[in-house]
Amino acid sequence: MAAGSTSPNPPVGAVIVSPSGEVVGEGYTQPAGGAHAEVMALKDAGSAARGGRAIVTLEPCNHQGRTGPCSQALLAAGVSRVDFLFADPSPVACGGAETLRNAGVDVHGPFLPSPSHVKPWTPLFSVEPWLRSMALGRPHVTVKVASTADGRIAARDGSSQWITGAAARRVVHVDRSRRDAIVVGTGTAIADNPSLTARREDGSLLPNQPLRVLMGERGLPADTALFTGDAPAMHVRSRDPHAVLAQLSEHGVVDVLIEGGAGVIGSFIHAGLVDAVQLYMAPALLGGGSAWIDSPQLGGSMDDIRRFTPRELTTAGDDVIWRLTAPI
């Protein structure tokens, strides 16, 4: 539930288990400046946390920022054991595990030292984009594509609605709500006029709305859909993927979703800036039309091939959702 609302902080979840093995508290990171997951879970557990066990996505933080150190909150609550999945790579916040161990708490972790240690077909964790962003020193980038089985995103006449079904589109909107920003190029904005909002089936907005980003040098009318409504929007007047990510980073963006078009996707792939691909594939063939990658710098030889690791393969209605991640 934290994903999409916490940046630049990581979306973390925590559970408190009583000495008898009962789950007595749950919590997740609040928007930046709010309480961290451990504090929320301890508040939910109350006195039942004493002598219990905390299970956390990320190593408890160990610094005083806008909130206090989670390591100290766990000690004050009397937790006897802490398990955590990933180590905190932040030089400012790390060290919570050592503090807890030195205070006599039984600490276990990290179970997964970094995203690069995650095995193929392991489901994605919401904190992974933040971890990769920390490792790479820039926002994490996911390319999202809805295509036919032969890789087409539009017919020759430009029509593209709808390739995938309603169930897959519902998944897309939930995923949008978990991202910090969605990027499209001016060509896509002109051709499709997308709003880029995260919506329910009835058209109402989901609670978390990503920053809608137009990438490109051309100006567009103020009534362009992605500039209207209550969701935030910005125009980055550049075709350089590095420049776009730099500007987004200045706005506290950690997790970026690229929704097209093919030229924008190609430019990010050519620049080596794609960390994940989320492919929604319909069981259909079009035989012609637009492919989802278009780059004059790619495909000249097999030296241009980009290898990814398969991480998840699921379905939504009749469509397949395939999630791939790039090596760090």
Flag whether pLDDT at 312 surpasses 80. Answer: yes
Is 311 part of any known ligand binding site? no
Flag whether pLDDT at 56 surpasses 70. Answer: yes
Q: Which of 95, 56, 58, 51 is nearest to 75 (CA)?
A: 51
Is 94 part of any known ligand binding site? no
Determine the pLDDT at residue 126.
87
- Among 2-6, 105-109, 291-295, the least confident range: 2-6
Determine the pLDDT at residue 258.
98
Please report, rounded to a whole number, the percentage of residues in the chain having pLDDT higher than 90: 76
Flag whether pLDDT at 9 surpasses 90. Answer: no
Q: Which residues are catalytic?
A: 38
| Pairing outcome for strands 211-215 and 233-236 | parallel
Question: pLDDT tens digits for 174-199?
Answer: 999 999 999 999 999 998 899 999 99
Q: Would the pTM of this model clear 0.75, i.e. be above it?
A: yes
Determine the pLDDT at residue 2.
65
Is 236 part of any known ligand binding site? no
| 3-class DSSP assignment, residue 235 | strand
Q: Which of 105, 107, 108, 109 is nearest to 50 (CA)?
A: 105
Asked if 237 and 217 count as a contact pair (C-beta separation under 8 A), the reply is yes
Task: Give the C-alpha separation, 245 to 300, whole Å.
Answer: 27
Is 264 part of any known ligand binding site? yes
